[in-house]
């Protein structure tokens, strides 16, 4: 019921193979288009960095009935790939990140990292929250070193790395500030530095720039792209902003509205660096948006009819 | 400046009224002492070290008792907050137990521990444990969930998660409960000390009664109030200010 990826026959996006390949490490199908300069799309069999296999999540609504939030999600993310997940609000895309992070158990299915099943949270997958989740009782520097401290890394190494990552996000001067003294954009940069400092293989970003003003967001896009380039991390980026997804991603994955299914995948083969205002970005975004429109309409309809959306809180159980 | 003036006027008037009533000699001076008599008692008490010793003994007891309450209360509160079963069962019990004055534990404490310091400590702990537990439970619930998630995400678990994340994250929400716990601990201690010869402030207070020395009684009462006030003003106000500076919060009542 999930393999409903639609091939879109426009010049962009390039159609990808139908979904439903469950086993991680399976070849991605010889017919899949090969993105230039991204060896991850090579036809050689390679174990995916992150692999979601038949992920389902259901929860009990207040009325007592079981609702399906995520429906047989299958997704392969290659090492070093920048994948953006878009979908209408309420499609469970944030929840999906929480599952990958191991902060919440799925009802069925399995998340694999390097082919190994994921059990619980681990510093190899760091989630960056929309409202940053920085610790207000710690200074910027202490926030950045927190993950390393939990790992038991020596003080000297921690200090050195903290300085390194703060320089990377251009916040070296704010090492001793408290979080409430920073602007929204600076807080997100601290959150990125804190995530990178644990040297995770995978960065999971949950609408990290949604609450920022346009100028700050543009700057952070550039910074994130640069950091991704420099560090070669795998990034799974959730957003409801299609243009942002096209601006940043190697690939855009579209989820349907309740239950969340993978509707289609769009490789983005535009040259980098890209800009939000590029006409090519806008055109690509338009095509994805056309597909998304149905889902958005369905979500709006549900919202009007129900008055209140029965939202699932990501990480509902702790 | 204006506030200081208000203070002077208010306390001046209070002292004036007190002096007036005492000087009118409606009651005999040993029943209703003058402010000067109380001041002399205070001076004498500090001079012969009675008060110093009493303060030291009482403070020692309250610190031990309150300390144990805080540690136990945090563990209990966290347990109640994070376990549905405990919340449903023990949560209600804790609230209902809070209506029991801690001194009601005194007879049990005497039988269990004997007439000694441990009995006093027990009453102190029973006095403040519930406040701390309920505050911790409440704080843990009020604390934004994102902190726990972020902490686990960054590799904190078990004790590390509690110590480095959950505890500091809930502090702003439990500081008023800690303060209330302290007030209960202090009151329970004085009450228990009044019932048992024990060197503490409570005993010195009762000694004043036995000697029909009301100025000594009032002197000790002032001491008890002053210590409670100083701890509140220095320790807890300082903690609140510190938290506000870090978190950038406005004072939470």
- pLDDT score at A73: 81
- pLDDT score at A313: 52
Secondary structure E strands in A114-245: 116-117, 125-128, 202-206, 234-239
Query: B147: nearest CA in chain A?
Result: A133
What whole-number distance in Å separates Cα of residue B188 and Cα of residue B106?
10
Query: How far, rounded to the nearest angstrom, does the alpha carbon of residue A23 sit from its chain's CA centroid?
Result: 21
- B193-230 in b/e burial notation, b at 16+ Cβ within 10 A? bbbbebbbbbbbbbbbeeeebbbbbbbbeebbeebbee
Domains along chain A? Answer: 46-124+200-310 (3.40.50.300), 129-199 (no CATH)
- pLDDT exceeds cutoff 60 at B178: yes
Q: Which domain holds residue B131?
A: 36-247
- pLDDT exceeds cutoff 60 at B168: yes
- pLDDT exceeds cutoff 90 at B17: yes
Interchain contact B246–A (C-beta under 8 A): yes
Q: How many domains does chain B have?
A: 1
- The answer to whether residue B19 sits within a structural domain is no
Collect all residues of chain A within an 8 Å Cβ-Cβ radius of residue B173. none
- The answer to whether residue B132 sits within a structural domain is yes
Q: Tell me, what CATH number does B118's domain have?
A: 1.10.3720.10
Name the more confident of B188 and A18. Answer: B188
- The answer to whether residue B95 sits within a structural domain is yes
Please judge whether A135 and B169 are an interchain contact, meaning their C-beta atoms are less than 8 angstroms apart: yes
What whole-number distance in Å separates Cα of residue A251 and Cα of residue A239?
13
What whole-number distance in Å separates Cα of residue A190 and Cα of residue A188?
5
How far off is chain B from A42, nearest CA to CA, in Å?
Answer: 32
- pLDDT exceeds cutoff 50 at B12: yes
- The answer to whether residue B31 sits within a structural domain is no
Counting as low any pLDDT under 70, the low residues of chain A are 1-46, 90, 303, 306-318
Q: How many interchain CB pairs under 8 A, A with B?
A: 74
What whole-number distance in Å separates Cα of residue B18 and Cα of residue B32?
9
Q: What is the ipTM of this complex?
A: 0.72
Percent of chain B past pLDDT 90, that is, above it, reads 23
Q: Say whether A235 sits in a helix, a strand or coil.
A: strand
- The answer to whether residue B11 sits within a structural domain is no
| Alpha-carbon torsion, ordered A127, A131, A133, A135, to 10 deg | 150
Taking only the tens place, the pLDDT of each residue in B202-216 is 888 888 888 888 888
Taking only the tens place, the pLDDT of each residue in A209-241 is 887 788 878 888 888 888 888 888 889 999 888
Average pLDDT, chain B: 87
- The answer to whether residue B68 sits within a structural domain is yes
Q: Is the pTM of this model over 0.80?
A: no
- pLDDT score at B63: 93
Residue B23: burial class (beta carbons within 10 Å; 0-12, 13-18, 19+)? exposed
- The answer to whether residue B23 sits within a structural domain is no
- The answer to whether residue B2 sits within a structural domain is no
pLDDT mean over B55-67: 92
pLDDT mean over B181-185: 91
Collect all residues of chain A within an 8 Å Cβ-Cβ radius of residue B160. 150
Residue B112: CB atoms within 10 Å: 11
- pLDDT exceeds cutoff 90 at B68: yes
pLDDT mean over B48-69: 91
- pLDDT score at B224: 92
Collect all residues of chain A within an 8 Å Cβ-Cβ radius of residue B151. 135
Name the more confident of A94 and B13. Answer: B13
Q: Say whether A225 sits in a helix, a strand or coil.
A: helix
Pairing assessment for the beta strands A251-255 and A125-128 based on DSSP bridges: unpaired
Interchain contact A137–B (C-beta under 8 A): yes
Read off the pLDDT band of B13 (50, 70, 90).
Answer: very high
Taking only the tens place, the pLDDT of each residue in A19-53 is 433 333 333 333 334 444 444 444 445 677 778 88
- pLDDT score at B64: 94
Query: How far, rounded to the nearest angstrom, does the alpha carbon of residue A309 sit from its chain's CA centroid?
Result: 23
User: Which residue's entry shows tokens 């001041």?
Assistant: B39
- pLDDT exceeds cutoff 80 at B173: yes
């Amino acid at each position: 019921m999930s393999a409903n990826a639609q091939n879109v026959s426009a010049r962009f996006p390039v159609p990808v193979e139908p979904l439903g390949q469950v086993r991680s490490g399976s070849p991605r199908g010889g017919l899949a288009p090969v993105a230039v300069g991204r060896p991850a799309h090579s036809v050689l069999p390679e174990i995916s960095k992150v692999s979601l296999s038949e992920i389902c999540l259901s929860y009990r609504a207040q009325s007592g009935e079981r609702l399906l939030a995520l429906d047989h999600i299958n997704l392969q993310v290659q090492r070093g790939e920048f994948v953006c997940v878009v979908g209408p609000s309420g499609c469970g895309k944030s929840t999906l990140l929480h599952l990958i992070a191991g902060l919440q158990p799925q009802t069925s299915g399995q998340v694999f990292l390097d082919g190994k099943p994921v059990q619980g949270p681990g510093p190899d997958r760091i989630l960056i929250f929309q409202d940053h989740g920085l610790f207000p009782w710690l200074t910027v520097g202490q926030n950045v070193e927190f993950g390393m401290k939990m790992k038991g890394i020596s003080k000297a190494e921690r200090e050195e790395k903290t300085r390194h990552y703060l320089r990377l996000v251009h916040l070296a001067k704010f090492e001793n500030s408290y979080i409430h003294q920073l602007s929204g954009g600076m807080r997100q940069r601290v959150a990125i530095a804190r995530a990178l400092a644990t040297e995770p293989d995978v960065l999971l970003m949950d609408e990290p720039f949604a609450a920022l003003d346009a100028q700050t967001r543009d700057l952070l896009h550039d910074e994130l792209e640069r950091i991704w380039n420099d560090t070669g991390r795998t990034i799974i980026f959730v957003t409801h902003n299609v243009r942002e997804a096209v601006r940043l991603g190697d690939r855009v994955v579209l989820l349907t509205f309740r239950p969340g299914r993978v509707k289609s995948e769009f490789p983005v083969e535009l040259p980098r660096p890209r800009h939000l205002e590029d006409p090519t970005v806008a055109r690509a975004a338009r095509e994805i948006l056309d597909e998304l429109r149905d889902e958005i309409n369905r979500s709006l309809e549900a919202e009007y009819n129900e008055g209140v959306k029965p939202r699932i809180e990501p990480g509902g159980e702790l | 400046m204006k506030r200081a003036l208000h203070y002077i006027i208010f306390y001046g008037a209070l002292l004036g009224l007190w002096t007036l009533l005492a000087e009118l000699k409606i009651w005999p001076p040993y029943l209703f002492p003058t402010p000067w008599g109380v001041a002399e008692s205070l001076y004498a008490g500090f001079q012969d070290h009675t008060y110093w010793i009493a303060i030291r003994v009482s403070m020692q007891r309250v610190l031990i008792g309150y300390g144990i309450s805080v540690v136990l209360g945090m563990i209990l509160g966290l347990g109640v907050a994070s376990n549905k079963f405990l919340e449903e069962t023990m949560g209600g019990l804790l609230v209902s137990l809070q209506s029991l004055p801690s001194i009601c534990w005194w007879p049990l404490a005497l039988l269990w521990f004997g007439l000694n310091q441990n009995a006093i400590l027990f009453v102190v702990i029973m006095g403040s444990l519930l406040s701390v537990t309920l505050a911790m439970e409440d704080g843990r619930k009020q604390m934004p969930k994102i902190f726990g998630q972020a902490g686990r995400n960054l590799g904190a678990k078990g004790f590390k998660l509690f110590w480095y994340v959950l505890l500091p994250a809930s502090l702003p929400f439990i500081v008023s409960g800690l303060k209330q716990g302290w007030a209960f601990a202090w009151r329970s201690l004085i009450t228990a000390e009044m019932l048992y010869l024990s060197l503490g402030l409570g005993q010195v207070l009762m000694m004043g009664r036995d000697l029909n020395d009301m100025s000594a009684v009032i002197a000790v009462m002032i001491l008890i109030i002053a210590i409670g006030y100083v701890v509140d003003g220095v320790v807890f106000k300082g903690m609140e200010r510190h938290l506000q500076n870090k978190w950038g919060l406005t004072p939470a009542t």
